[in-house]
Amino acid sequence: MTRTFTIKEGQTPTKAQLDEVKEAVKRGIQFDEDSPELSPAMYKAFKCSVAQRNRRKKNA
């Protein structure tokens, strides 16, 4: 299950949110047929697209 928290600039996360993130770090990533592990080339392309998306979001 994926949970999303939106924290605006200057806002601090709650203790419950921080605790949930700390617990999530302890769990490993589970790959399956719906979300297979990325090859190094696909990982590089994904990382590049995320950087471009973040640049657009920041300038908007």
Instruction: Please write the tens of the pLDDT for every residue from 3-59.
Output: 777 878 888 888 998 998 899 889 888 899 988 999 999 999 999 999 999 888 877
* The two three-digit tokens of residue 16, written as one number: 């419950």
Q: Are 37 and 31 in contact (CB under 8 A)?
A: yes
* Predicted local distance difference test score (pLDDT) of residue 49: 94
* Predicted local distance difference test score (pLDDT) of residue 26: 92
* Predicted local distance difference test score (pLDDT) of residue 37: 92
7-13-19 Cα angle (round to 5) = 130
* Predicted local distance difference test score (pLDDT) of residue 40: 94
